[in-house]
Amino acid sequence: MALIHTTKGDLEESTLIKTEGQIDNENEFTTWVEYRLPDSDEIIHRSAHVILKQSPGIFGEVTGL
């Protein structure tokens, strides 16, 4: 009986539609979880975790200044 904090208040996880995804490339590894109410496309909760594989450059390097 896990509760998920959503834009609609705290809801029981078993009553929601859960979607998971990930991006894995040379710069980052990102995973996310989204929850929706049944019969709805509205995302009522989203959480993400990002791991950078490379340090971002200094501001001048990124913009070419």
* pLDDT digit string, tens, across residues 24-61: 999 899 999 999 999 999 999 999 999 999 887 666 55
Amino acid 56: pLDDT = 72
Strand pairing class (3-6; 28-36): unpaired
Q: Taking the mean position of all CA atoms in its chain, how far away is CA 60?
A: 29
CA-CA distance, 29 to 18, in Å (whole number)?
Answer: 20
CA-CA distance, 19 to 32, in Å (whole number)?
Answer: 8
